[in-house]
């Protein structure tokens, strides 16, 4: 879990940061040449990886927490925010509906908030210009800080999306997104909630479902002159 109090890394530090997958592969390759052959692909891999502090769960977790230009962007997955008990119940219901257990990852509120804060720190210039992914991450951070857990679910096709949405309608979903390769889609389940100051513009309100995004516009946005160039 990311440390929310960690200072922003330098540009050099960001350039040399290695992913969990890279660390796992490097740890597996750093074996002594005189190790017995029987242990080369088994216990030795486990021991060196353990010494590096990286395990299979870290690599699996990273697949759910993919980023693009530094921004949280798990392409091929859906992300749903709801109360922690509801999120756990939804995960169980999805498994009962033939979703694989390994195709879901449940983030507790503090974990989700840390992931979204990391996105704000690491976002590249292009991501900040385009802005949509950043705004989604900021809303999810607010929801996490307001007590929402986040369930990340692998959604390989539209049939899986329909099954997910139909199952999720049994609970109060506060935000639901599906990340495609080139677009982020608001799923038609629940109500878009923004607990704090909205990152959306005054007229930028979601049209795919009921929303409370207009209740608290970004600070200063409501005071900007209208109709002036």
Instruction: Give the pLDDT confidence of 152-161 residue by residue, as tens digits.
Output: 999 999 999 9
SS3 letters across 107-124? ECHHHHHHHHHHHHHHCC
The pLDDT assigned to 57 comes to 66
Write b or e for each residue in 155-179: b if 16 or more Cβ atoms lie within 10 A of its Cβ, otherwise e.
Answer: beeeebbebbbebbeebebbbbbbb
Given a cut of 60, is residue 28 above it in pLDDT?
Answer: no
Total-model pTM? 0.66
Given a cut of 50, is residue 3 above it in pLDDT?
Answer: no
Contact 156, 76 (CB under 8 A): yes
Instruction: Give the pLDDT confidence of 91-129 residue by residue, as tens digits.
Output: 999 999 999 989 999 999 999 999 999 988 887 766 666
Cβ neighbors of 54 (< 8 A, separation 6 or more) are 20, 23, 24, 27
């Amino acid at each position: 879990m990311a440390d929310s109090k960690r200072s922003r890394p330098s540009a050099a530090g960001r350039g040399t940061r290695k992913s969990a997958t890279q660390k796992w592969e490097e740890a597996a390759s750093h074996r002594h040449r005189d190790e017995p052959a029987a242990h080369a692909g088994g216990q030795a891999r486990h021991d060196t990886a353990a010494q590096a502090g990286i395990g299979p769960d870290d690599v699996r977790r990273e697949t759910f927490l993919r980023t693009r230009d530094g921004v949280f962007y798990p392409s091929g997955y859906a992300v749903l925010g709801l109360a922690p008990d509801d999120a756990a119940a939804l995960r169980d219901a999805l498994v009962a509906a033939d979703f694989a257990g390994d195709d879901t990852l449940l983030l507790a509120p503090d974990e989700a908030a840390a992931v979204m804060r990391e996105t704000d720190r690491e976002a590249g210039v292009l991501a900040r210009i385009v802005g949509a992914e950043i705004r989604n991450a900021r809303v999810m951070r607010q929801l996490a800080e307001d007590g929402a857990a986040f369930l990340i679910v692998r959604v390989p096709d539209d049939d899986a999306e329909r099954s997910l949405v139909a199952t999720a309608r049994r609970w109060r979903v506060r935000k639901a997104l599906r990340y495609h390769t080139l677009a982020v889609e608001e799923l038609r389940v629940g109500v878009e909630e923004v607990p704090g100051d909205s990152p959306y513009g005054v007229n930028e309100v979601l049209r795919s479902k009921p929303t409370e995004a207009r209740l608290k516009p970004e600070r200063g946005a409501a005071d900007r002159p209208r109709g002036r160039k």
